């Protein structure tokens, strides 16, 4: 079982907690017998020294039981928290190895919920397993045994009551377990709406959509509330039903016990002990019922966590002896997102240190094409070769070390500017960082910052403008001095002058550069330009060739450039 892997390192603590809880339960079983003896021998015979002696024994039993409960509580908390920490760390490590397709399929909000809320549910289940799962059955079985020890005929009442309670519990468990799984899925949807609203808060306010988005969030939470209420109503049946059954059993004990006291086959203390044992069964059943609810939730969470941990990356190094003479080539490459074709039969060759522009309409497959180069996704058909080798032949770390990637969304991380620049090369010197900043047209504004390279970047780089963030992400990619540089529409926030200066500086580096852009001006000086439409290569060539031979490129160029630039 997967969960055992995370319990195993802390099994000693779990066993110690379990043993102390069992000890507490044993002392608890002794209490009704001591009380019975006080009633029958101390009060019945007016023996005060005996009452004092047994009273002290009762205090010792209670005190030692309380001490055992504290020790159990400590070890249960230690085990459950350690269990959760280990599981959460493994989940985070596994998620970071996911292919892009796995992340797309499960979704970021769901992964966040699973690594937080679902793990908490399992932590609670582990703690309850140590503290209560052992105690409740032990007290129930122990109370039955004690009842037989006191009087076999009276114990039959216990034997009849126990199965009735078990049937009630089974009914609630079988009905409520599927509901908890639905609730966890609904929580994913709530997280999704919450994340969308918090991420897009500026857009929401710009369009004055606060009321509509509040309504959407309220609808989601209202649905979750209704589901919680529904399962809560079902679970709420458990305590009243078990209470009725046990109290009916106590009435029978009092009635039959009264008759037997009159005939002398049972003492008053023994009747009180039997009632205490029945109450212990009732309380244990209450606890057990609550534990079952916790375990139902944990079971639903466990399935979701198991799914996260069971996914293995499909993009791995593979032996491929095919080779090519070109530096980089696509051969009949096709790719689809969950059945929706994004690229179809893509074929082209690129020479070393060439600059390649990629242009096309929205949804034409530009980003998908460049995402195949570092194997963020694997093509369903065809082959991609880099430096003569199929990309599947490279170790992923080796492959991605050759490639510098600047994604569409400029992402910076909390920390100093220097730490952000050293992501691609951890031992990069300040001189290397400044060189990259100059190439990315970022050095001027960085020098104006009070702390320079020691400037703190807040989460998502919110203390910088969009253009500044883009230039820093370009500089971060340049620091590692990549053989292949991919700029995926990464200059969209730059003004035309800065964009032109950036393109001019990039011509000085020894890298094969892919520039994905909607601007013709950003790619018109490239050695080759790939024109995409609906996932297919329409044409490929330099700016002048495409103006003369490609209608789609000519149409885009005429819409953006001055007439003299398209002649």
Tell me the range of 278-287, 337-346, 430-439, 493-502 where mean pLDDT is highest: 430-439
What percent of the chain has a predicted confidence (pLDDT) above 70? Answer: 98
Q: How confident is the model at residue 359 (pLDDT cuts 50, 70, 90)?
A: very high
Chain centroid, CA 495 distance in Å = 39
Q: How confident is the model at residue 563 (pLDDT cuts 50, 70, 90)?
A: low
Is there a domain that residue 198 lies in? Answer: no
Is there a domain that residue 314 lies in? Answer: no
How far is it, in rounded angstroms, from Cα 27 to Cα 375?
63
> What average pLDDT does range 206-226 have in this prediction?
85
Is there a domain that residue 250 lies in? Answer: yes
Domain count for the chain, please give it: 2
Element (H, E) at 33: helix 11-37
Residue by residue, DSSP assigns 441-505 as: T-HHHHHHSTTGGGPEE-GGGTTS-HHHHHHHHHHHHHHT--SEEEEESTTTTS-HHHHHHHHHH
pLDDT at 567 over 70: no
Is there a domain that residue 385 lies in? Answer: no
Identify the pLDDT of residue 562. Answer: 63
Domain boundary among 291, 309, 327: 309
Q: Are residues 153 and 14 in the same domain?
A: yes
Q: Which residue has the higher pLDDT, 198 or 67?
A: 67
Beta strands 536-541 and 340-350: pairing type? unpaired
pLDDT at 282 over 80: no
| Best CA proximity match to 99, nearest among 343, 329, 372, 342 | 372
Question: Per DSSP, what are the bridge partners of residue 329?
Answer: 349, 385
Mean pLDDT of the chain: 84
Q: Which residue has the higher pLDDT, 562 or 300?
A: 300
Is there a domain that residue 437 lies in? Answer: yes
Q: Which residue has the higher pLDDT, 253 or 17?
A: 17
What percent of the chain has a predicted confidence (pLDDT) above 90? Answer: 18
Element (H, E) at 516: strand 512-516
> What average pLDDT does range 351-374 have in this prediction?
90
Question: Per DSSP, what are the bridge partners of residue 185?
Answer: none
Residue by residue, DSSP assigns 294-362 as: HHHHHHHHHHHHHHHHH---S--------B-SSSEEEEEEEEEETTEEEEEEEEEEE-TT-EEEEEEST
Identify the pLDDT of residue 4. Answer: 78
Q: Which residue has the higher pLDDT, 485 or 200?
A: 485
Contact status, residue 359 vs residue 520, Cβ threshold 8 Å = yes
> What average pLDDT does range 9-22 have in this prediction?
88
Residue 427 sits in a domain of what CATH number? 3.40.50.300
Contact status, residue 488 vs residue 407, Cβ threshold 8 Å = yes
Is there a domain that residue 532 lies in? Answer: no
pLDDT digits (tens, 9 = 90+) for 289-298: 778 778 877 8
Identify the pLDDT of residue 302. Answer: 86
How far is it, in rounded angstroms, from Cα 549 to Cα 303?
57
> What average pLDDT does range 185-192 have in this prediction?
79
Q: Are residues 172 and 303 in the same domain?
A: yes
Domain boundary among 253, 278, 309: 309
Q: How far is CA 174 from CA 129, 225, 478, 561, in A?
A: 19, 21, 59, 68
Contact status, residue 402 vs residue 386, Cβ threshold 8 Å = yes
pLDDT at 198 over 70: yes
The least confident of 112-116, 310-314, 381-385, 527-531 is 310-314
How far is it, in rounded angstroms, from Cα 83 to Cα 87?
6
pTM above 0.75, yes or no: no
Beta strands 456-457 and 484-488: pairing type? unpaired
Identify the pLDDT of residue 566. Answer: 52
Q: How confident is the model at residue 514 (pLDDT cuts 50, 70, 90)?
A: very high
What would the 3-class secondary structure string for 85-125 be? HHHHHHHHHHHHHCCHHHHHHHCHHHHHHHHHHHHHHHHHH
Domain extent for 74: 2-176+240-309
- Which SS3 state, helix, strand or coil, does residue 408 take? coil
How far is it, in rounded angstroms, from Cα 288 to Cα 17?
18
Q: What is the DSSP letter of 39?
A: I
> What average pLDDT does range 370-386 have in this prediction?
90
Q: Which residue has the higher pLDDT, 95 or 494?
A: 95
Q: Which residue has the higher pLDDT, 471 or 143?
A: 471
Tell me the range of 44-48, 522-526, 560-564 where mean pLDDT is highest: 522-526
Domain boundary among 309, 332, 349: 309
Identify the pLDDT of residue 11. Answer: 87
Q: How confident is the model at residue 564 (pLDDT cuts 50, 70, 90)?
A: very low
How far is it, in rounded angstroms, from Cα 548 to Cα 436?
37
Identify the pLDDT of residue 22. Answer: 85
| Best CA proximity match to 134, nearest among 65, 224, 72 | 72
């Amino acid at each position: 079982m997967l969960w055992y892997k995370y319990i195993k390192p802390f099994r000693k603590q779990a066993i110690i907690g379990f043993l102390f809880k069992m000890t507490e339960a044993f002392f608890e079983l002794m209490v009704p017998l001591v009380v019975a003896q006080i009633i029958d021998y101390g009060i019945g015979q007016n023996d005060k020294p005996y009452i004092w002696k047994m009273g002290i024994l009762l205090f010792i039993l209670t005190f030692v039981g309380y001490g055992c409960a504290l020790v159990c509580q400590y070890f249960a908390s230690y085990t459950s928290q350690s269990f959760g920490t280990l599981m959460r760390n493994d989940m985070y490590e596994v998620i970071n190895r996911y292919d892009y397709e796995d992340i797309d399929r499960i979704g970021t909000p769901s992964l966040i919920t699973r690594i937080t809320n679902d793990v908490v549910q399992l932590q609670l289940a582990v703690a309850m397993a140590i503290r209560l799962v052992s105690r409740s059955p032990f007290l129930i079985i122990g109370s039955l045994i004690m009842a037989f020890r006191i009087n076999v005929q009276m114990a039959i009442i216990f034997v009849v009551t126990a199965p009735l309670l078990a049937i009630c519990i089974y009914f609630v468990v079988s009905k409520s377990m599927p509901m908890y799984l639905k609730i966890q899925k609904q929580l994913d949807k709530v997280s999704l709406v919450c994340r969308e609203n918090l991420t897009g808060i500026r857009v929401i306010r710009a369009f004055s959509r606060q009321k509509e988005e509040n309504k959407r969030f309220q609808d989601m939470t209202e649905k979750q509330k209704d589901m919680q209420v529904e399962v809560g109503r079902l679970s709420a049946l458990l305590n009243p039903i078990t209470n009725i059954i046990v109290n009916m059993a106590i009435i029978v004990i009092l009635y039959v016990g009264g008759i037997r006291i009159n005939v002398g086959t049972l003492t008053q203390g023994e009747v009180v002990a039997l009632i205490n044992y029945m109450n212990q069964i009732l309380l244990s059943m209450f606890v057990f019922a609550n534990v079952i609810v916790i375990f139902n939730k944990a079971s639903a969470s466990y399935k979701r966590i198991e799914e996260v941990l069971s996914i293995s990356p499909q993009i791995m190094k593979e032996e491929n002896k095919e080779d090519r003479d070109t530096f980089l080539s696509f051969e009949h490459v096709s790719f689809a997102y969950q059945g929706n074709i994004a690229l179809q039969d893509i074929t082209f060759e690129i020479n070393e240190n060439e600059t390649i522009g990629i242009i096309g309409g929205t949804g034409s497959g530009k980003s998908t094409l460049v995402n195949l180069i570092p194997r963020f996704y694997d093509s369903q058909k065809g082959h991609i070769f880099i430096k003569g080798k199929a990309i599947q032949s490279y170790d992923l770390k080796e492959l991605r070390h050759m490639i510098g990637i600047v994604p569409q969304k400029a992402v910076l991380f909390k920390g100093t500017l220097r730490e952000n620049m050293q992501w691609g090369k951890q031992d990069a010197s300040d001189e290397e960082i400044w060189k990259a900043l100059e190439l990315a047209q970022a050095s001027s504004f960085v020098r104006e910052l009070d702390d320079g390279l020691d400037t703190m970047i807040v989460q998502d780089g919110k203390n910088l403008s969009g253009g500044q963030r883009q230039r820093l992400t370009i500089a971060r990619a340049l620091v590692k001095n990549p053989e292949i540089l991919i700029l995926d529409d990464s200059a969209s926030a730059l003004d035309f002058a800065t964009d032109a200066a950036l393109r001019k500086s990039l011509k000085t580096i020894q890298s094969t550069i892919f520039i994905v852009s909607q601007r013709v001006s950003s790619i018109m000086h490239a050695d080759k330009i790939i024109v995409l439409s609906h996932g297919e290569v329409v044409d490929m060539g330099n700016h002048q060739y495409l103006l003369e031979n490609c209608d789609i490129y000519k149409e885009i160029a005429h819409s953006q450039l001055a007439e003299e630039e398209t002649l």
